[in-house]
A = this chain, B = another copy of it.
């Protein structure tokens, strides 16, 4: 594996700010990622890490997946040594509702941010 970036000037330009806490919305983000494509725990953590700048650790992601499974919003299927998670029908509906809510609360904030 090559050493991280140097030639890659893009890298991640943006990390969690120290002005305010930016935790939260993990389960929401998991549902959204899984709506794009089914994934196992690690890939999911990586995808979320791509957006957040830092990937959630095992102690964060797996309890969240367990919770969402118990709520019947996602379901996991063993494939070899990994567990691939998929949105359930209930999960799709939930994500839709949650997305509308998220839009209502935050869209104005997003719109004041001009893309780089």
Contacts and interface: CB of A to CB of B under 8 A. Distances in A.
Interface in A75-116: 91, 93-95, 97-110, 112-113, 115-116
A112 B96 CA distance: 10
A71 interface: yes
A22 to B, nearest CB: 6
Interface string A19-31: 1111111111101
Contact of A28 (B20, B97, B101, B116): B20
Contact of A24 (B24, B112, B116): B24
Interface size of A as a range: 35 or more
A4 interface: no
A51 B99 CA distance: 14
Contact of A107 (B17, B25, B73, B110): B110
Given A27-B21, A28-B20, A28-B22, A115 B103 contact: yes
7 contacts: A14-B101, A21-B27, A22-B28, A25-B106, A53-B104, A102-B110, A107-B115
Interface of A: 14-29, 31-32, 51-53, 68, 71, 73, 91, 93-95, 97-110, 112-113, 115-116
